[in-house]
Chain A
Amino acid sequence: MTDQPTGGELSAEGGHGAVPLQGVPTGEGVPAPEPEWPLYEVFVRGKRGLNHVHVGSLHAADDRMALLHARDVYTRRNEGVSIWVVRADAITASSPDEKDPMFAPSGDKVYRHPTFYDIPDNVPHM
Protein backbone atom coordinates (compact mmCIF):
# COMPACT_ATOMS: atom_id res chain seq x y z
CA MET A 1 0.00 0.00 0.00
CA THR A 2 2.78 2.40 0.85
CA ASP A 3 6.47 2.27 0.11
CA GLN A 4 7.94 -1.04 -0.89
CA PRO A 5 10.03 -2.56 1.87
CA THR A 6 13.76 -2.18 1.62
CA GLY A 7 16.54 -4.37 2.83
CA GLY A 8 16.91 -2.47 6.07
CA GLU A 9 13.42 -3.27 7.35
CA LEU A 10 13.47 -6.99 7.53
CA SER A 11 13.31 -9.42 10.39
CA ALA A 12 13.66 -13.16 10.81
CA GLU A 13 10.92 -13.20 13.42
CA GLY A 14 8.36 -15.88 12.95
CA GLY A 15 10.69 -18.54 11.73
CA HIS A 16 9.73 -18.03 8.10
CA GLY A 17 12.84 -16.32 6.85
CA ALA A 18 13.15 -12.61 6.30
CA VAL A 19 9.88 -10.71 6.19
CA PRO A 20 9.30 -7.00 5.72
CA LEU A 21 8.48 -4.98 8.80
CA GLN A 22 7.10 -1.87 7.12
CA GLY A 23 4.78 -1.14 4.27
CA VAL A 24 2.73 -4.22 5.03
CA PRO A 25 -1.05 -3.70 5.14
CA THR A 26 -2.54 -4.55 8.51
CA GLY A 27 -6.02 -4.43 9.95
CA GLU A 28 -6.73 -0.72 9.80
CA GLY A 29 -8.41 0.62 12.90
CA VAL A 30 -7.70 -2.58 14.84
CA PRO A 31 -5.99 -1.70 18.09
CA ALA A 32 -2.41 -2.86 18.47
CA PRO A 33 -2.11 -6.18 20.26
CA GLU A 34 -0.86 -6.43 23.81
CA PRO A 35 2.91 -6.49 24.06
CA GLU A 36 3.94 -10.11 23.67
CA TRP A 37 6.72 -12.20 25.06
CA PRO A 38 9.73 -12.19 22.78
CA LEU A 39 9.98 -14.82 20.10
CA TYR A 40 12.56 -17.57 20.34
CA GLU A 41 13.80 -19.92 17.65
CA VAL A 42 14.22 -23.53 18.75
CA PHE A 43 16.88 -26.00 17.65
CA VAL A 44 16.73 -29.65 18.67
CA ARG A 45 19.37 -32.32 18.37
CA GLY A 46 17.87 -35.76 17.98
CA LYS A 47 19.15 -38.97 19.48
CA ARG A 48 21.00 -39.92 16.35
CA GLY A 49 21.31 -36.44 14.97
CA LEU A 50 24.71 -34.90 14.42
CA ASN A 51 23.69 -31.31 14.80
CA HIS A 52 20.92 -29.15 16.14
CA VAL A 53 18.15 -28.61 13.62
CA HIS A 54 15.71 -25.72 13.56
CA VAL A 55 12.29 -27.10 14.46
CA GLY A 56 10.20 -23.98 15.04
CA SER A 57 9.65 -21.01 17.25
CA LEU A 58 7.80 -20.06 20.41
CA HIS A 59 7.20 -17.22 22.83
CA ALA A 60 8.70 -17.04 26.30
CA ALA A 61 9.43 -14.40 28.89
CA ASP A 62 13.07 -15.33 29.37
CA ASP A 63 15.73 -17.78 28.23
CA ARG A 64 15.03 -20.44 30.85
CA MET A 65 11.30 -20.36 30.21
CA ALA A 66 12.04 -20.68 26.51
CA LEU A 67 13.94 -23.91 27.20
CA LEU A 68 11.05 -25.32 29.26
CA HIS A 69 8.55 -24.35 26.60
CA ALA A 70 10.73 -25.84 23.89
CA ARG A 71 10.86 -29.08 25.84
CA ASP A 72 7.08 -29.12 26.10
CA VAL A 73 6.27 -28.03 22.57
CA TYR A 74 8.96 -29.71 20.48
CA THR A 75 10.22 -32.79 22.32
CA ARG A 76 6.97 -34.43 23.42
CA ARG A 77 7.55 -37.49 21.26
CA ASN A 78 11.01 -38.36 22.43
CA GLU A 79 12.70 -36.44 19.66
CA GLY A 80 15.52 -34.73 21.42
CA VAL A 81 18.55 -35.04 23.62
CA SER A 82 19.58 -31.40 23.47
CA ILE A 83 17.82 -28.10 22.91
CA TRP A 84 19.11 -24.69 21.89
CA VAL A 85 16.96 -21.59 22.03
CA VAL A 86 17.90 -18.17 20.74
CA ARG A 87 15.93 -14.98 20.60
CA ALA A 88 14.69 -14.42 17.09
CA ASP A 89 15.75 -10.78 17.16
CA ALA A 90 19.33 -11.93 17.73
CA ILE A 91 19.34 -13.61 14.33
CA THR A 92 20.58 -11.69 11.32
CA ALA A 93 18.89 -12.95 8.18
CA SER A 94 19.59 -12.47 4.51
CA SER A 95 16.87 -10.61 2.67
CA PRO A 96 14.86 -11.70 -0.36
CA ASP A 97 16.15 -8.61 -2.20
CA GLU A 98 19.63 -10.00 -2.00
CA LYS A 99 18.65 -13.41 -3.30
CA ASP A 100 20.23 -13.08 -6.71
CA PRO A 101 23.57 -11.62 -5.69
CA MET A 102 23.74 -13.99 -2.74
CA PHE A 103 22.82 -17.27 -4.31
CA ALA A 104 22.53 -17.12 -8.10
CA PRO A 105 26.29 -17.11 -8.80
CA SER A 106 26.65 -20.60 -7.39
CA GLY A 107 23.85 -22.00 -9.53
CA ASP A 108 25.92 -22.80 -12.63
CA LYS A 109 29.04 -24.08 -10.90
CA VAL A 110 28.20 -27.71 -10.90
CA TYR A 111 31.84 -28.63 -10.54
CA ARG A 112 31.68 -27.48 -6.93
CA HIS A 113 29.45 -30.41 -6.07
CA PRO A 114 31.10 -33.70 -5.15
CA THR A 115 28.82 -35.46 -7.61
CA PHE A 116 31.56 -36.80 -9.79
CA TYR A 117 32.51 -39.39 -7.23
CA ASP A 118 30.84 -42.70 -6.49
CA ILE A 119 29.95 -42.67 -2.81
CA PRO A 120 29.76 -46.09 -1.21
CA ASP A 121 26.37 -46.88 0.33
CA ASN A 122 27.87 -47.30 3.78
CA VAL A 123 29.19 -43.77 4.01
CA PRO A 124 26.68 -41.97 6.22
CA HIS A 125 25.58 -38.38 6.40
CA MET A 126 26.28 -37.40 2.80
Chain B
Amino acid sequence: MNEHIHTTPEDEHDSAYSGLLVNDAHWAFGTDFEDPLAGVDTSIPDGVDAPVLAAYALMLGDDALVMSHRISEWTSNAPDLEDDIALSNIALDLLGQARLLLARAAKADASVVPALPEGSPAPPEDALAFFRDAHDFRNVRLAELVNGDFAEAVVRVLLFSVWRLATFERLRSSRDHVLAAVAAKGVKELAYHRDYSARWFVTLAQGTDESRRRLVAALDALWPLWPELFDTHAVEAAAAGAGVGVDPASVREAAEGVLDQVLAAADVPRPEAPRRAGVLGRTGRDGMHGEPLSLMLAEMQSVARAHPMGQW
Protein backbone atom coordinates (compact mmCIF):
# COMPACT_ATOMS: atom_id res chain seq x y z
CA MET B 1 0.00 0.00 0.00
CA ASN B 2 2.85 2.35 0.76
CA GLU B 3 3.65 3.18 -2.82
CA HIS B 4 0.20 4.71 -3.29
CA ILE B 5 0.57 7.29 -0.58
CA HIS B 6 2.69 10.30 -1.28
CA THR B 7 4.06 12.58 1.34
CA THR B 8 6.04 15.72 0.94
CA PRO B 9 9.04 16.40 3.14
CA GLU B 10 7.92 19.91 4.03
CA ASP B 11 8.33 21.37 7.46
CA GLU B 12 6.07 19.42 9.76
CA HIS B 13 5.14 22.45 11.75
CA ASP B 14 3.95 24.66 8.92
CA SER B 15 0.94 22.72 7.74
CA ALA B 16 -1.92 20.96 9.43
CA TYR B 17 -1.69 18.32 6.73
CA SER B 18 1.97 17.49 6.78
CA GLY B 19 3.21 14.43 8.56
CA LEU B 20 -0.21 12.83 8.66
CA LEU B 21 0.20 10.17 6.03
CA VAL B 22 3.66 8.90 6.89
CA ASN B 23 2.35 5.96 8.89
CA ASP B 24 -0.46 4.35 6.99
CA ALA B 25 -1.39 1.84 9.68
CA HIS B 26 -4.58 3.81 10.20
CA TRP B 27 -5.87 3.02 6.71
CA ALA B 28 -8.65 0.50 7.00
CA PHE B 29 -8.84 -2.67 5.00
CA GLY B 30 -10.54 -2.13 1.69
CA THR B 31 -8.10 0.55 0.57
CA ASP B 32 -5.69 -1.85 -1.06
CA PHE B 33 -5.63 -1.22 -4.78
CA GLU B 34 -5.09 -4.85 -5.74
CA ASP B 35 -7.01 -6.99 -3.27
CA PRO B 36 -9.86 -5.23 -1.45
CA LEU B 37 -10.12 -8.04 1.10
CA ALA B 38 -6.42 -8.15 1.92
CA GLY B 39 -5.92 -8.96 5.57
CA VAL B 40 -9.41 -10.31 6.22
CA ASP B 41 -10.27 -13.94 6.83
CA THR B 42 -12.32 -14.93 3.78
CA SER B 43 -12.98 -18.54 4.75
CA ILE B 44 -16.64 -19.49 4.75
CA PRO B 45 -17.99 -20.21 8.26
CA ASP B 46 -19.01 -23.79 9.04
CA GLY B 47 -22.50 -24.72 8.00
CA VAL B 48 -22.96 -21.73 5.71
CA ASP B 49 -24.12 -22.32 2.17
CA ALA B 50 -21.66 -20.48 -0.09
CA PRO B 51 -24.24 -19.52 -2.74
CA VAL B 52 -26.49 -18.06 -0.03
CA LEU B 53 -23.61 -16.03 1.38
CA ALA B 54 -22.72 -14.79 -2.11
CA ALA B 55 -26.32 -13.89 -2.97
CA TYR B 56 -26.72 -12.06 0.33
CA ALA B 57 -23.49 -10.10 -0.15
CA LEU B 58 -24.66 -9.19 -3.66
CA MET B 59 -27.89 -7.74 -2.28
CA LEU B 60 -26.09 -5.49 0.19
CA GLY B 61 -23.44 -4.67 -2.38
CA ASP B 62 -25.93 -3.75 -5.09
CA ASP B 63 -27.83 -1.50 -2.68
CA ALA B 64 -24.61 0.41 -2.05
CA LEU B 65 -23.45 0.43 -5.67
CA VAL B 66 -26.71 1.72 -7.16
CA MET B 67 -27.29 4.24 -4.37
CA SER B 68 -23.70 5.41 -4.70
CA HIS B 69 -24.08 5.99 -8.42
CA ARG B 70 -27.29 7.97 -7.99
CA ILE B 71 -25.73 10.17 -5.32
CA SER B 72 -22.61 10.60 -7.43
CA GLU B 73 -24.82 12.14 -10.10
CA TRP B 74 -25.13 15.11 -7.72
CA THR B 75 -21.45 15.87 -8.12
CA SER B 76 -21.18 19.37 -9.62
CA ASN B 77 -24.97 19.73 -9.38
CA ALA B 78 -25.59 20.27 -5.65
CA PRO B 79 -26.94 23.61 -4.42
CA ASP B 80 -23.53 24.71 -3.19
CA LEU B 81 -19.93 23.58 -3.12
CA GLU B 82 -19.99 22.29 0.44
CA ASP B 83 -23.00 20.01 -0.08
CA ASP B 84 -21.56 18.92 -3.40
CA ILE B 85 -18.56 17.57 -1.53
CA ALA B 86 -20.72 16.13 1.25
CA LEU B 87 -22.82 14.15 -1.23
CA SER B 88 -19.72 13.05 -3.12
CA ASN B 89 -18.24 11.78 0.16
CA ILE B 90 -21.40 9.79 0.86
CA ALA B 91 -21.28 8.31 -2.63
CA LEU B 92 -17.65 7.32 -2.14
CA ASP B 93 -18.36 5.70 1.23
CA LEU B 94 -21.08 3.59 -0.36
CA LEU B 95 -18.89 2.73 -3.34
CA GLY B 96 -16.28 1.45 -0.91
CA GLN B 97 -18.90 -0.74 0.79
CA ALA B 98 -20.06 -1.98 -2.61
CA ARG B 99 -16.55 -2.94 -3.66
CA LEU B 100 -15.97 -5.01 -0.51
CA LEU B 101 -19.36 -6.68 -0.66
CA LEU B 102 -19.13 -7.55 -4.35
CA ALA B 103 -15.62 -8.86 -3.78
CA ARG B 104 -17.01 -10.94 -0.91
CA ALA B 105 -19.74 -12.35 -3.15
CA ALA B 106 -17.22 -13.30 -5.81
CA LYS B 107 -14.87 -14.89 -3.28
CA ALA B 108 -17.66 -16.93 -1.69
CA ASP B 109 -19.07 -18.21 -4.96
CA ALA B 110 -17.13 -17.55 -8.17
CA SER B 111 -20.10 -18.71 -10.26
CA VAL B 112 -21.91 -15.39 -9.66
CA VAL B 113 -19.21 -13.50 -11.58
CA PRO B 114 -19.98 -12.86 -15.25
CA ALA B 115 -17.51 -14.44 -17.67
CA LEU B 116 -15.12 -12.00 -19.29
CA PRO B 117 -12.83 -12.56 -22.28
CA GLU B 118 -9.72 -14.63 -21.56
CA GLY B 119 -7.02 -12.47 -20.06
CA SER B 120 -9.24 -9.60 -18.97
CA PRO B 121 -7.59 -7.75 -16.09
CA ALA B 122 -10.96 -6.71 -14.60
CA PRO B 123 -11.16 -7.90 -10.98
CA PRO B 124 -14.25 -9.91 -9.97
CA GLU B 125 -15.92 -6.99 -8.21
CA ASP B 126 -15.62 -4.93 -11.38
CA ALA B 127 -17.03 -7.76 -13.46
CA LEU B 128 -20.02 -7.86 -11.11
CA ALA B 129 -20.52 -4.11 -11.22
CA PHE B 130 -20.07 -3.54 -14.92
CA PHE B 131 -21.00 -6.75 -16.71
CA ARG B 132 -24.36 -7.71 -15.20
CA ASP B 133 -27.69 -6.61 -16.65
CA ALA B 134 -30.41 -4.93 -14.62
CA HIS B 135 -32.32 -8.14 -13.91
CA ASP B 136 -29.23 -9.55 -12.19
CA PHE B 137 -29.07 -6.64 -9.77
CA ARG B 138 -30.59 -7.30 -6.36
CA ASN B 139 -30.81 -3.76 -4.97
CA VAL B 140 -33.93 -2.37 -3.35
CA ARG B 141 -35.88 -0.09 -5.68
CA LEU B 142 -35.47 2.96 -3.43
CA ALA B 143 -31.82 3.16 -4.52
CA GLU B 144 -32.41 3.21 -8.26
CA LEU B 145 -34.97 5.99 -8.74
CA VAL B 146 -34.06 8.89 -10.97
CA ASN B 147 -32.84 11.82 -8.89
CA GLY B 148 -35.22 14.63 -8.06
CA ASP B 149 -34.43 17.90 -6.32
CA PHE B 150 -32.14 18.39 -3.33
CA ALA B 151 -34.99 17.64 -0.90
CA GLU B 152 -35.46 14.31 -2.65
CA ALA B 153 -31.77 13.53 -2.20
CA VAL B 154 -32.00 14.40 1.49
CA VAL B 155 -35.04 12.20 2.06
CA ARG B 156 -33.61 9.31 0.05
CA VAL B 157 -30.28 9.38 1.88
CA LEU B 158 -32.16 9.59 5.19
CA LEU B 159 -34.43 6.61 4.51
CA PHE B 160 -31.56 4.58 3.07
CA SER B 161 -29.08 5.33 5.85
CA VAL B 162 -31.58 4.85 8.69
CA TRP B 163 -32.40 1.42 7.32
CA ARG B 164 -28.88 0.40 6.38
CA LEU B 165 -27.39 1.59 9.66
CA ALA B 166 -29.92 -0.47 11.62
CA THR B 167 -28.96 -3.44 9.45
CA PHE B 168 -25.20 -2.95 9.76
CA GLU B 169 -25.36 -2.54 13.52
CA ARG B 170 -26.59 -6.12 13.68
CA LEU B 171 -24.41 -7.34 10.85
CA ARG B 172 -21.33 -6.51 12.94
CA SER B 173 -21.90 -9.79 14.75
CA SER B 174 -22.15 -11.81 11.54
CA ARG B 175 -20.39 -15.17 11.65
CA ASP B 176 -18.80 -14.23 8.34
CA HIS B 177 -15.64 -12.28 9.12
CA VAL B 178 -15.85 -10.21 5.96
CA LEU B 179 -19.45 -9.13 6.43
CA ALA B 180 -18.74 -8.36 10.09
CA ALA B 181 -15.73 -6.25 9.13
CA VAL B 182 -17.62 -4.43 6.36
CA ALA B 183 -20.42 -3.68 8.81
CA ALA B 184 -18.05 -2.45 11.52
CA LYS B 185 -16.48 -0.06 9.01
CA GLY B 186 -19.80 0.91 7.46
CA VAL B 187 -21.55 1.76 10.72
CA LYS B 188 -19.33 4.81 11.19
CA GLU B 189 -19.93 5.96 7.64
CA LEU B 190 -23.69 5.41 7.75
CA ALA B 191 -23.98 7.17 11.10
CA TYR B 192 -22.58 10.25 9.39
CA HIS B 193 -24.86 9.90 6.37
CA ARG B 194 -27.82 9.67 8.71
CA ASP B 195 -26.71 12.67 10.71
CA TYR B 196 -26.11 14.75 7.59
CA SER B 197 -29.45 13.90 5.99
CA ALA B 198 -31.44 14.14 9.22
CA ARG B 199 -30.11 17.63 9.87
CA TRP B 200 -30.99 18.72 6.36
CA PHE B 201 -34.40 17.08 6.74
CA VAL B 202 -35.16 19.18 9.81
CA THR B 203 -33.63 22.30 8.27
CA LEU B 204 -35.73 22.07 5.11
CA ALA B 205 -38.88 21.19 7.06
CA GLN B 206 -38.42 24.16 9.36
CA GLY B 207 -37.13 26.52 6.65
CA THR B 208 -39.31 28.38 4.21
CA ASP B 209 -42.74 27.39 2.91
CA GLU B 210 -41.06 26.35 -0.32
CA SER B 211 -38.40 24.19 1.33
CA ARG B 212 -41.02 22.47 3.47
CA ARG B 213 -43.30 21.91 0.49
CA ARG B 214 -40.47 20.28 -1.44
CA LEU B 215 -39.41 18.14 1.51
CA VAL B 216 -42.91 16.84 2.17
CA ALA B 217 -43.41 16.17 -1.55
CA ALA B 218 -40.17 14.17 -1.64
CA LEU B 219 -41.16 12.17 1.43
CA ASP B 220 -44.58 11.42 -0.04
CA ALA B 221 -42.98 10.32 -3.30
CA LEU B 222 -40.47 7.96 -1.68
CA TRP B 223 -42.68 6.61 1.08
CA PRO B 224 -44.25 3.80 -1.00
CA LEU B 225 -40.78 2.22 -1.30
CA TRP B 226 -39.99 2.34 2.43
CA PRO B 227 -41.83 -0.90 3.37
CA GLU B 228 -39.93 -2.86 0.72
CA LEU B 229 -36.74 -2.31 2.72
CA PHE B 230 -38.09 -4.58 5.47
CA ASP B 231 -39.32 -7.43 3.31
CA THR B 232 -37.55 -10.70 4.01
CA HIS B 233 -36.34 -12.38 0.84
CA ALA B 234 -35.67 -16.12 0.96
CA VAL B 235 -31.93 -15.44 0.64
CA GLU B 236 -32.02 -13.03 3.56
CA ALA B 237 -33.97 -15.51 5.65
CA ALA B 238 -31.43 -18.22 4.87
CA ALA B 239 -28.47 -15.92 5.56
CA ALA B 240 -30.02 -14.81 8.85
CA GLY B 241 -30.74 -18.41 9.78
CA ALA B 242 -27.10 -19.32 9.18
CA GLY B 243 -25.93 -16.46 11.37
CA VAL B 244 -24.22 -14.53 8.60
CA GLY B 245 -27.00 -12.12 7.60
CA VAL B 246 -29.68 -9.90 9.09
CA ASP B 247 -33.38 -10.45 8.57
CA PRO B 248 -34.67 -7.03 7.38
CA ALA B 249 -37.91 -7.51 9.28
CA SER B 250 -35.92 -7.66 12.51
CA VAL B 251 -34.59 -4.11 12.11
CA ARG B 252 -37.91 -2.50 11.27
CA GLU B 253 -38.74 -1.45 14.81
CA ALA B 254 -35.32 0.16 15.34
CA ALA B 255 -35.40 1.94 11.98
CA GLU B 256 -38.97 3.18 12.39
CA GLY B 257 -38.09 4.47 15.84
CA VAL B 258 -35.20 6.54 14.52
CA LEU B 259 -37.24 7.84 11.62
CA ASP B 260 -40.06 8.84 13.94
CA GLN B 261 -37.61 10.89 15.97
CA VAL B 262 -36.52 12.77 12.87
CA LEU B 263 -40.10 13.31 11.75
CA ALA B 264 -41.01 14.61 15.20
CA ALA B 265 -38.04 16.99 15.28
CA ALA B 266 -39.05 18.28 11.86
CA ASP B 267 -42.74 18.36 12.76
CA VAL B 268 -43.59 16.36 9.66
CA PRO B 269 -46.37 13.75 9.93
CA ARG B 270 -45.79 10.19 8.74
CA PRO B 271 -47.10 9.84 5.19
CA GLU B 272 -49.97 7.46 4.65
CA ALA B 273 -49.33 6.42 1.07
CA PRO B 274 -49.58 2.65 0.54
CA ARG B 275 -46.55 0.64 -0.43
CA ARG B 276 -45.63 0.25 -4.07
CA ALA B 277 -46.55 -3.21 -5.25
CA GLY B 278 -44.06 -5.46 -6.93
CA VAL B 279 -44.56 -6.98 -10.35
CA LEU B 280 -46.31 -10.30 -9.75
CA GLY B 281 -45.07 -9.95 -6.20
CA ARG B 282 -41.45 -9.50 -7.25
CA THR B 283 -39.43 -6.47 -6.20
CA GLY B 284 -35.85 -5.25 -6.34
CA ARG B 285 -34.46 -8.16 -4.34
CA ASP B 286 -35.89 -10.50 -7.01
CA GLY B 287 -34.24 -8.59 -9.83
CA MET B 288 -37.43 -6.76 -10.76
CA HIS B 289 -36.47 -3.17 -11.46
CA GLY B 290 -37.85 -0.17 -13.24
CA GLU B 291 -36.59 1.29 -16.47
CA PRO B 292 -34.47 3.89 -14.65
CA LEU B 293 -32.02 1.22 -13.49
CA SER B 294 -31.47 -0.02 -17.05
CA LEU B 295 -30.76 3.49 -18.24
CA MET B 296 -28.47 4.16 -15.30
CA LEU B 297 -26.51 0.96 -15.88
CA ALA B 298 -26.26 1.69 -19.60
CA GLU B 299 -24.39 4.86 -18.77
CA MET B 300 -22.44 3.45 -15.84
CA GLN B 301 -21.29 0.32 -17.65
CA SER B 302 -20.76 1.50 -21.21
CA VAL B 303 -17.05 2.27 -21.02
CA ALA B 304 -16.14 -0.90 -19.13
CA ARG B 305 -18.17 -3.04 -21.52
CA ALA B 306 -16.64 -1.41 -24.56
CA HIS B 307 -13.18 -2.24 -23.21
CA PRO B 308 -13.36 -5.58 -21.35
CA MET B 309 -9.59 -5.89 -21.70
CA GLY B 310 -9.05 -2.39 -20.32
CA GLN B 311 -6.73 -1.75 -17.41
CA TRP B 312 -8.09 0.96 -15.13
Contact = CB atoms under 8 A, between A and B. Distances in A.
A77 interface: yes
A80 B82 contact: no
A72 B16 contact: no
Interface string B255-297: 0000000000000000000000000000000000000000000
Interface stretch (A15-23, A60-68, A108-116): A60-68
B15 interface: yes
A47 interface: yes
B1 interface: no
Nearest to B87: A72
Interface stretch (B18-26, B121-129, B182-190): B18-26
Interface residues of A, number: 27
Given A60-B82, A72-B86, A44 B16 contact: yes
B173 interface: no
Given A37-B80, A68-B195, A76 B89 contact: yes
A89 interface: no
Main secondary structure of the interface of B (DSSP, over half): helix
Which 9 residue pairs spanning A and B have beta carbons closest together? A53-B16, A69-B82, A72-B86, A44-B16, A72-B85, A46-B16, A72-B89, A79-B17, A73-B85
Interface in A21-79: 37, 44-49, 52-53, 55, 58-61, 64-65, 68-69, 71-73, 76-79
Nearest to B12: A48
B11 to A, nearest CB: 11
Given A46-B16, A77-B20, A80-B16, 8 more contacts: A46-B19, A58-B82, A65-B203, A69-B85, A73-B82, A77-B17, A78-B20, A79-B20
Nearest to A49: B16
Contacts of B19: 46, 48
Interface residues of B, number: 22
A125 interface: yes
B15 A68 contact: no
Contacts of B86: 68-69, 72
A53 B82 contact: no
A45 B19 CA distance: 12
Nearest to B5: A77
Interface string B185-224: 0000000100110010001000000000000000000000
A72 B17 CA distance: 15
A79 B19 CA distance: 9
B199 A65 contact: yes
A48 B13 CA distance: 10
Q: Which of B16, B20, B26 gathers most chain A CB within 10 Å? A: B16
A58 B80 CA distance: 10
Contacts of A48: 12, 19-20
A104 to B, nearest CB: 24
A113 B89 CA distance: 45
A78 B27 CA distance: 9
17 contacts: A46-B16, A46-B17, A47-B20, A48-B12, A48-B20, A59-B81, A59-B82, A64-B199, A68-B86, A68-B195, A71-B192, A72-B82, A72-B86, A73-B81, A77-B20, A79-B20, A80-B16
A48 B22 CA distance: 11
Nearest to A44: B16
A73 B80 CA distance: 12
Interface in B1-54: 12-13, 15-17, 19-21, 26-27
Interface in B64-96: 80-83, 85-86, 89
A79 B7 CA distance: 13
A85 to B, nearest CB: 12
Contacts of B203: 61, 65
A45 B199 CA distance: 25
A76 B15 CA distance: 16
